[in-house]
Amino acid sequence: MSIRGKACIVGAYEHPTRKAEDKSTAQLHAEVALGALRDAGLTRADVDGYFCAGDAPGMGPLSMADYIGLTRLSHYDSTDVGGCSYLAHVAHAAEAIAMGKCKVALITLAGRPRSEGVATGTAPRPGDPRQPDVQFEYPFGPAIANMYAMCAQRHMYEYGTTSEQLAWIKVAASHHAQHNEHAMLRKVVTVEDVVNSPLVADPLHRLDCCVISDGGGALVVTSPEIARSLKRPLVGIRGAGEAIKHVDGGRIDLTYTGARYAGARAFEMAGVKPADIKYASIYDSFTITVLMQLEDLGFCEKGQGGKFVSDGNLISGVGKLPFNTDGGGLCNNHPANRGGITKVIEAVRQLRGEAHPAVQVKNCDLALAHGTGGSLGTRHGSATLVLERL
Each domain of the chain, given as residue ranges in start order, spans 8-116+215-234, 142-208+237-389
pLDDT over 70 at 378, yes or no? yes
- Give the DSSP H/E element, type plus range, for residue 96: helix 85-98
Instruction: Count Cβ atoms below 10 Å from residue 234 Cβ, excluding itself.
Output: 16
pLDDT over 90 at 130, yes or no? no
Residue 370 near residue 259, CB atoms below 8 Å: yes
Give me the percent of the chain exceeding a pLDDT of 70.
98
Instruction: Count Cβ atoms below 10 Å from residue 129 Cβ, excluding itself.
Output: 8
pLDDT over 70 at 120, yes or no? no
pLDDT over 70 at 153, yes or no? yes
pLDDT over 70 at 10, yes or no? yes
**Greatest extent of the chain over all pairs of C-alpha atoms, in Å:** 56
* Polymer length in residues for the chain: 390
Query: Residue-wise over 80-99: b if at least 16 C-beta within 10 A, else e?
Result: bbbbbbbbbbbbbbbbbbbe
Q: What residues contact residue 35 under an 8 Å CB cut-off, 6+ apart?
A: 13, 15, 218
Q: What is the pLDDT of residues 29-46, one digit of tens each?
A: 999 999 999 999 999 999
- Give the DSSP H/E element, type plus range, for residue 224: helix 224-229
Strand ranges in the chain using DSSP code E only, listed in sequence order = 8-14, 49-51, 75-77, 104-111, 199-201, 204-205, 215-222, 235-245, 279-282, 366-374, 380-389
Q: What residues contact residue 309 under an 8 Å CB cut-off, 6+ apart?
A: 165, 166, 168, 169, 172, 290, 291, 294
Residue 138 confidence (pLDDT): 76
Mean of pLDDT values over 134-141? 77
Dihedral sign for Cα atoms in the order 261, 266, 269, 274: negative
Dihedral sign for Cα atoms in the order 87, 243, 260, 1: negative
Please tell me the CATH superfamily of domain 8-116+215-234, with its number.
Thiolase/Chalcone synthase (3.40.47.10)
Q: What residues contact residue 23 under an 8 Å CB cut-off, 6+ apart?
A: 17, 31, 112, 214
Identify the band that residue 143 occupies on the pLDDT scale cut at 50, 70 and 90. confident
pLDDT over 80 at 285, yes or no? yes
Fold of the domain built from segment(s) 142-208+237-389: Peroxisomal Thiolase; Chain A, domain 1 (3.40.47)
Residue 206 confidence (pLDDT): 96
Mean of pLDDT values over 189-196? 98
Mean of pLDDT values over 377-387? 96
Exposed/middle/buried for 28, CB within 10 Å: 0-12, 13-18, 19+?
Answer: buried
Q: Which of 95, 67, 128, 79 has its CA nearest to residue 340? A: 79
Amino acid at 100: G
Residue 121 confidence (pLDDT): 72
Residue 9 confidence (pLDDT): 98
Residue 63 confidence (pLDDT): 96
Residue 84 near residue 283, CB atoms below 8 Å: yes
Q: Do domains 8-116+215-234 and 142-208+237-389 have the same CATH topology?
A: yes
Identify the band that residue 133 occupies on the pLDDT scale cut at 50, 70 and 90. confident
Mean of pLDDT values over 79-99? 97
Average pLDDT, the chain: 95
- Least reliable range by pLDDT among 9-13, 309-313, 320-324: 309-313
